[in-house]
Amino acid sequence: MKSLLLGVLLFSISNLVSAQTSSPNQTRSAIFAGGCFWCIQPAFDKAPGVIKTVVGYCGGTERNPTYELVSSEKTNYRESIEITYDPAKISYEQLLDIYWRQIDPTQADGQFTDIGPSYRAEIFYGNAEEKKIAEASKEKLARSAKFKKPVVTEILPATKFYPAEAYHQKFYQQNPEHFEAFEKGSGRVSFQRKTWGQ
């Protein structure tokens, strides 16, 4: 009888372990604004655990915003990126570490040579946990003495994210020469190298 019960128990545990390992991981999404959305997409695309990235618009209220509307600087939308990721392979905190290295967190009026509300850096949190992690990450960066000026990147609740037009998606792959010239000309690359040694 004992051996029968032991066999049933082992069978149940085996099935449970098998179900846990064979079930697909739940994906999550994160939304960040960091100036020109062309320029922040490559770093996330390269990160292990990131499944998909889409550039677009977040932070405003108008429905179905277009690039023309957002770049008019008459809305609250910001050029943003939505990142779909596997939390078993990369954490939200690790995504934030990548994000901080793509921007100048001390600049409040935009990012680098892109000036205006639509280019301001922002972390859009989707829930209380993300807000807490983002605030802790920002505080950690501020205490690091990496920057002489205050870290001013905002942390605000996410609104509906709208994907940008097709010609903006993976722009660094669609137009590599134009992208490289723009990225360097904006001062972003030199800032990253000076700050992070990239």
**DSSP string spanning 171-197?**
HHHHSHHHHHHHHHHTTHHHHHHHHH-
Pair 40, 187: CB distance under 8 Å = no
Between strands 122-125 and 154-157, the pairing is parallel
- Residues noted as catalytic: 36
Q: What is the C-alpha to C-alpha distance for residues 184 and 100, in angstroms, rounded to an integer? A: 18
- Beta strands per DSSP E along the chain: 28-33, 50-58, 78-85, 110-111, 114-115, 122-125, 154-157, 162-163
Q: What is the C-alpha to C-alpha distance for residues 55 and 164, in angstroms, rounded to an integer? A: 6
Q: What angle do CA 155, 156, 160 make, to 5 degrees?
A: 135
